[in-house]
């Protein structure tokens, strides 16, 4: 069991809210923290609840351009202007109030997790609010204002990390970190996702391998629609552990999107929480084996915000804390009541579930 595990909690991140009709709901993160608390995981002897502050512009600027940061701030303050060239407007990335402040909170939470692992003696740290992996240096994309995993990686490199491995299990290709570090040999990116032939962002093919000295450090595993637990886990086991071990990173950074679930409304894979349980165990063992135990985990996508996301991320965090095998399968009744109240509908009552047909 890891001696020190950090849980970054930042309730203020509820302001990262594209509006009531948008699929990315802040409740998915809030309900995750609620479920972790309901299980008592935050009170475990090896778990420390960490707070986060908004990232300063110079930290966000490790990845993003000053012009983009300024445009994001001005748009969120309601200033008039053409912000479409920065990716803002109707559709995936509508302008919402305090947009820069919301993005800065997400980045700050992920950097807090990175700092805990790299400088404060923590083995693992989890920032459920993070994982916004589609934002590019000068453009918002795919619900993502700032690319917090990429900023956390850049921060680690700037603080002396020699190599960072980034593993992305979101149903969508981790295009932001791949593009940002495409020519950076110190960063390995591995993304397992539904093929870009069928799904946004239309990238993530095997021939995308990196540039120059970084060729071969960018790895993509595109999967066909309908892929279920067994095939997904087989692909994951075949590629991820070997590539990470071979790279010998100083830190493992993961994006734990759970929009791979069979019931997710935005994609076409067929995973269940059983796959998340196995992936969590593999990643945990890999962190200790290949990265000296240093594991920085972020959230990501997931649009069954009450029925799936809190269960998936609680499974991952329980594994990080060494408590997954002893965790009761039955969800706490108080949490179920709160989730059903927010959803205005029923939610599952157990962490486990039958494989998708």
Two tokens, residue 213:
């000295």
pLDDT of residue 183: 98
Determine contact, residues 134/142, Cβ cutoff 8 Å.
Answer: yes
* CA dist., res. 252 & res. 118, Å (int): 11
Determine contact, residues 183/94, Cβ cutoff 8 Å.
Answer: no
Determine contact, residues 73/100, Cβ cutoff 8 Å.
Answer: yes
Which of 125, 124, 163, 170 has its CA nearest to residue 147?
170
Cα torsion 45, 164, 300, 145 to 10°: value is 120
pTM: 0.98
pLDDT values of the chain reduced to their tens digit, one per residue, 357 residues = 678 999 999 999 999 999 999 999 999 999 999 999 999 999 999 999 999 999 999 999 999 999 999 999 999 999 999 999 999 999 999 999 999 999 999 999 999 999 999 999 999 999 999 999 999 999 999 999 999 999 999 999 999 999 999 999 999 999 999 999 999 999 999 999 999 999 999 999 999 999 999 999 999 999 999 999 999 999 999 999 999 999 999 999 999 999 999 999 999 999 999 999 999 999 999 999 999 999 999 999 999 999 999 999 999 999 999 999 999 999 999 999 999 999 999 999 999 999 877
Determine contact, residues 199/205, Cβ cutoff 8 Å.
Answer: no
133-166: b or e for each residue (b if 16 or more CB lie within 10 Å)? bbbbeebbbbbbbbbbbbbbbbbbbeeebebbbb
The catalytic position among 18, 100, 134, 284 is 134
Determine contact, residues 143/114, Cβ cutoff 8 Å.
Answer: no
* CA dist., res. 355 & res. 86, Å (int): 41
Two tokens, residue 182:
């495409």
Residue indicated by tokens 């594209």: 18
* CA dist., res. 147 & res. 137, Å (int): 8
Tell me whether residue 193 is one of the annotated catalytic residues. Answer: no
pLDDT of residue 1: 63
CA 353 to chain CA centroid, nearest Å: 22
Residue indicated by tokens 């809190």: 310
Two tokens, residue 15:
């302001």
Name all domains of the chain by residue range, CATH numbers in brackets. Answer: 5-343 (3.40.800.20)
């Amino acid at each position: 069991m890891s001696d020190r595990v950090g849980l970054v909690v930042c309730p203020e991140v509820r302001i990262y809210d594209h509006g009531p009709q948008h699929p990315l709901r802040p409740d998915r993160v809030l309900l995750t923290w609620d479920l972790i608390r309901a299980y008592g995981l935050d009170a475990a002897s090896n778990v420390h609840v960490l707070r986060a502050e908004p990232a300063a512009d110079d930290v966000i600027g490790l990845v993003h351009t000053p012009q983009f940061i300024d445009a994001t701030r001005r748009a969120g303050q309601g200033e008039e202007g053409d912000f479409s060239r920065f990716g803002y407007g109707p559709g995936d990335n509508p302008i919402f109030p305090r947009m820069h402040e919301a993005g800065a909170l997400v980045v700050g939470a992920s950097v807090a997790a990175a700092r805990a692992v790299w400088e404060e003696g923590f083995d693992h740290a989890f920032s459920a609010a993070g994982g916004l992996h589609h934002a590019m240096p000068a453009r918002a994309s795919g619900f993502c204002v700032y690319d917090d995993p990429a900023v956390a990686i850049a921060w680690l490199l700037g603080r002396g990390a020699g190599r960072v491995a980034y593993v992305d299990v979101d149903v969508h290709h981790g295009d932001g970190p791949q593009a940002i570090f495409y020519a950076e040999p110190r960063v390995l990116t591995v993304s397992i996702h539904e093929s870009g032939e069928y799904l946004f962002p239309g990238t993530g093919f095997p021939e995308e391998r990196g540039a120059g000295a970084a060729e071969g450090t960018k790895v993509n595993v595109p999967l066909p629609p309908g892929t279920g637990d067994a095939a997904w886990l087989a692909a994951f086991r075949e590629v991820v552990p070997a590539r990470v071990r071979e790279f010998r990173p100083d830190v493992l950074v993961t994006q734990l999107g759970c929009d791979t679930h069979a019931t997710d409304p935005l994609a076409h894979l067929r995973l269940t929480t059983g796959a998340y349980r196995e992936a969590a165990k593999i990643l945990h063992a890999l962190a200790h084996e290949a990265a000296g135990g240093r594991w920085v985990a972020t959230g990501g996508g997931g649009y069954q915000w009450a029925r799936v996301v809190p269960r998936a991320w609680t499974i991952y965090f329980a594994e990080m804390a060494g408590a997954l095998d002893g965790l009761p399968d039955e969800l706490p009744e108080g949490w179920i009541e709160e989730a059903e109240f927010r959803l205005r509908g029923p939610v599952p009552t157990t962490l486990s579930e039958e494989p998708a047909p």
